Every structure is written in structure tokens, then in C-alpha cells.
């Protein structure tokens, strides 16, 4: 994971893409709003300049995320379903082997023919040519630069299923709908341009944040009933076992955002949600509040790194290859070392 830095410029990435015959646009497994938005924006932009490009999602994909794509824009399945004539891969919103596990063998076979755009601080040299910008609030903020380098006028690509909509999706979701510390004047300026292009932000918020299945109520109740507080009440820990999913009829697609609920309580600076994905595998989601006067933000990216995961300072995750009870013990032990200075 050391030495993860840019090896190319946006202009050079654009040049390589223009020289390709068939491009696969990929991201990490179980794509979130930023990952999906980055894939869709890139595919639409490449097609807009006459290039052949297809998006590819792997792992479980939230139905609301899938609704962002037009018919035929993305494929879902195993790497062999890809066209064997693909001569270049664009990897977005990740550069970590452990996040692209379903695609790792295929990506290794494409060595030297992978380019990347990422805003995470940790990763592997999957992409030989890559732009890594940790100052970007979302990967779509970097993809927007690629769109510009391709000479595309966003004002002509707004509205439903557009480049602008895909870019806004990543920008909004990865900033907590513009609540996180990562929001800068540049982020809001880009958001303004995308709205001017015709993005319907109300529709997107309703689709992605207010469109859950009824089972979400039951699984949310299970999570909240499991809350335990640690470090003098400044860290919340929630647990969801396989029995909770079975009893409520919920799936892992129904738990997005639940980890944020404890952060609505004053004094809680960090929230953890451990959910049992299968026997012996536990997914961990970590969140922290934005830095405020007298209350520095807890770096959950560094916390997740202890378990082989990562993400951002305020939002990160990991997968622990242990049953829920053992994963809980590991996380609780690690919480004892978390620096909570400034929180009250």
C-alpha cells in the first residue's frame, strides 16, 4: 500500500482512453453512489466522444443504485462475460486489490492496460497510469476533470441518466449530501455547474436516501436495540447477526446509512456497525462526525486500516474474516486505543 500516488495527468489519461478500441470501466465490489456515479459518468463521457465503453459492476448492487443506469450501460457478473477485445480498463474510486477481489485475476491479466482515477490515500499499483487526488471529496470530482479534458460541455449533458447526474450522485453521496468536512468551495462550485446543467437533486435524494424497502424498518430496529456505548459514551457500536436479517427479511442492501444514526446524539463522535454477511465473515462500517471547534474528527480510515480496510477520515469500512462475536471483540479492543481528545 506504500507509494500510492499519481503517475500520470488527467490529460495523459484522456489520451490513453482516446487511443483505445474498447474500454471497460470498473470500480470496487458493492458500488456505492460515488463508485457507481464515477462509472456511469465515465461511460457516458467516453461514448459521447465516440469511444466504445461499457461499465461493469461486481458484487451485490443496491436496486436504487442500479436505477441510475440506462439499459445496457453496465454489465453485472463475472469477468469472463466481458468482451475479450477489451484493450483498456479504467478503474475508478479504488486502487485496492482487496476491494476488487472478484476481478483481480482479470485485472492482473490486463497489467499495463489499466488506468485509474481515485481519491483514496491507500491503494495498490493496479493501474500503471493513475491520478490520485486525496483532496477530492469524491471520485466523481476527478472524473469531472476527465470529462472536461475530453472536451465535453456538461450543459449539453444534463437531466436524467446524464453525465451531470452521475457526477452529482457521487459528489452528493460521498459528502453526506454536502455535510462533511470535505466540502470545499470547489465542491460547491462543481455542484452548482451540475445543477445548472439540469440535475434534479430532489429526485436523486429521494431515489437514494428515501426509497428503502419496509424491511429496512425492522433491521434498523434490530441495530438500534443492539447499541452499546464505549469510551465514556463517545463511541457507539451496533451489531447485526444473520438471525436479524432472517427475522426481518432484510438484506445487506437494506442497511445503508444505519451506521450514521448514533451520530445524531450529542457527544457521540464515532459509530460502528458490524453486520454478519455469512458464517465467518463480518462487514464493518465506521463513521465519525466532522471536525468542529473543540471536537476534532476521529480518523476512521486509520481505524479501518487495522482490519485491512480503508476509506476516508469520516467514512470507512472493512471485512473481518471472523464470526460476528470474534469480530466484535477485535473492534472493541481496538476502540480502546482511539484518540478521542476534544469530545465531550
**Is residue 294 scored above 60 in pLDDT?**
no
Predicted local distance difference test score (pLDDT) of residue 296: 65
> CA 10, 13, 16: angle at the middle one, nearest 5?
150
Among the three residues 148, 181, 209, which one is the final residue of a domain in this structure?
Answer: 209
285 falls within a domain: yes
> CA 284, 310, 69: angle at the middle one, nearest 5?
85
Query: How many domains does the chain fold into?
Result: 2
Specify which residues 205 forms β-bridges with.
none
Q: Domain of residue 258: give its range.
A: 215-335
> Could you report how far apart the first and last alpha carbons of the chain are, in Å?
35
Convert the pLDDT of each residue in 199-239 to its tens digit: 999 999 999 999 999 999 999 999 999 999 999 999 999 99
Q: Are residues 58 and 89 in the same domain?
A: yes
Convert the pLDDT of each residue in 267-279 to its tens digit: 999 999 999 988 7
Q: What is the DSSP string of 105-169?
A: HHHHHTTTSEEEEE--S---TT-SEEEE-TT-SSHHHHHHHHHHHTT--GGGS-STTSHHHHHHH
Convert the pLDDT of each residue in 129-179 to its tens digit: 999 999 999 999 999 999 999 999 999 999 999 999 999 999 999 999 998
**Is residue 108 scored above 50 in pLDDT?**
yes
146 falls within a domain: yes
Predicted local distance difference test score (pLDDT) of residue 295: 63
Predicted local distance difference test score (pLDDT) of residue 1: 52
Q: Are residues 155 and 219 in the same domain?
A: no
**Is residue 293 scored above 80 in pLDDT?**
no
62: which 3 cell numbers? 443496491
Predicted local distance difference test score (pLDDT) of residue 343: 42
Q: Are residues 140 and 175 in the same domain?
A: yes
Q: Are residues 150 and 267 in the same domain?
A: no
Convert the pLDDT of each residue in 21-74 to its tens digit: 999 999 998 899 999 999 999 999 999 999 999 999 988 888 899 999 998 788
Strands 281-288 and 270-278: antiparallel
What CATH number is given to the structural domain containing 310? 3.10.310.30
Q: Are residues 14 and 116 in the same domain?
A: yes
Among the three residues 209, 226, 259, which one is the final residue of a domain in this structure?
Answer: 209
**pLDDT: which is higher, 93 or 63:** 93
Give the side-chain half-sphere CA count within 13 A for 89.
26
Amino acid at each position: 500500500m506504500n507509494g500510492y500516488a499519481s503517475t500520470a495527468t488527467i490529460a495523459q489519461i484522456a489520451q490513453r482512453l482516446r487511443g483505445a478500441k474498447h474500454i471497460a470501466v470498473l470500480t470496487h465490489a458493492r458500488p456505492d453512489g460515488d463508485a457507481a456515479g464515477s462509472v456511469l459518468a465515465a461511460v457516458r463521457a467516453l461514448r459521447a466522444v465516440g469511444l466504445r465503453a461499457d461499465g461493469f459492476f461486481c458484487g451485490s448492487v443496491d436496486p436504487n443504485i442500479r436505477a441510475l443506469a440506462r439499459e445496457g450501460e453496465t454489465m453485472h457478473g463475472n469477468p469472463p462475460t466481458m468482451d475479450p477485445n477489451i484493450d483498456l480498463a479504467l478503474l475508478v474510486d479504488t486502487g485496492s486489490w482487496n476491494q476488487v477481489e472478484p476481478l483481480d485475476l482479470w485485472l492482473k491479466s490486463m497489467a499495463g492496460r489499466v488506468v485509474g482515477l481515485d481519491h483514496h490515500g491507500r491503494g495498490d499499483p493496479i493501474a500503471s497510469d493513475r491520478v490520485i487526488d486525496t483532496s477530492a471529496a469524491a471520485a466523481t470530482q476527478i472524473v469531472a476533470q476527465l470529462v472536461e479534458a475530453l472536451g465535453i460541455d456538461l450543459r449539453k449533458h444534463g437531466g436524467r441518466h446524464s453525465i451531470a447526474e452521475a457526477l452529482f450522485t457521487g459528489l452528493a453521496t460521498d459528502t453526506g449530501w454536502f455535510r462533511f468536512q470535505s466540502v470545499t468551495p470547489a465542491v460547491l462550485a462543481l455542484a452548482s455547474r451540475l445543477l445548472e446543467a439540469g440535475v434534479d437533486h430532489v429526485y436523486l435524494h429521494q431515489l437514494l436516501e428515501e426509497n428503502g424497502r419496509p424491511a429496512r424498518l425492522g433491521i434498523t430496529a434490530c441495530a438500534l436495540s443492539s447499541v452499546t456505548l464505549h469510551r465514556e459514551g463517545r463511541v457507539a457500536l451496533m451489531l447485526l447477526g444473520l438471525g436479524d436479517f432472517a427475522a426481518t427479511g432484510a438484506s445487506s442492501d437494506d442497511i445503508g446509512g444505519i451506521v450514521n444514526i448514533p451520530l445524531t446524539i450529542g457527544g457521540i463522535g464515532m459509530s460502528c456497525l458490524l453486520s454478519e454477511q455469512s458464517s465467518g465473515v463480518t462487514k464493518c462500517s465506521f463513521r465519525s462526525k466532522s471536525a468542529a471547534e473543540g471536537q476534532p474528527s476521529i480518523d476512521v480510515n486509520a481505524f479501518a486500516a487495522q482490519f485491512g480496510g480503508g476509506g476516508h477520515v469520516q467514512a470507512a469500512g472493512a471485512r473481518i474474516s471472523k464470526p460476528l462475536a470474534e469480530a466484535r471483540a477485535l473492534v472493541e479492543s481496538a476502540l480502546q486505543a482511539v484518540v478521542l481528545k476534544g469530545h465531550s
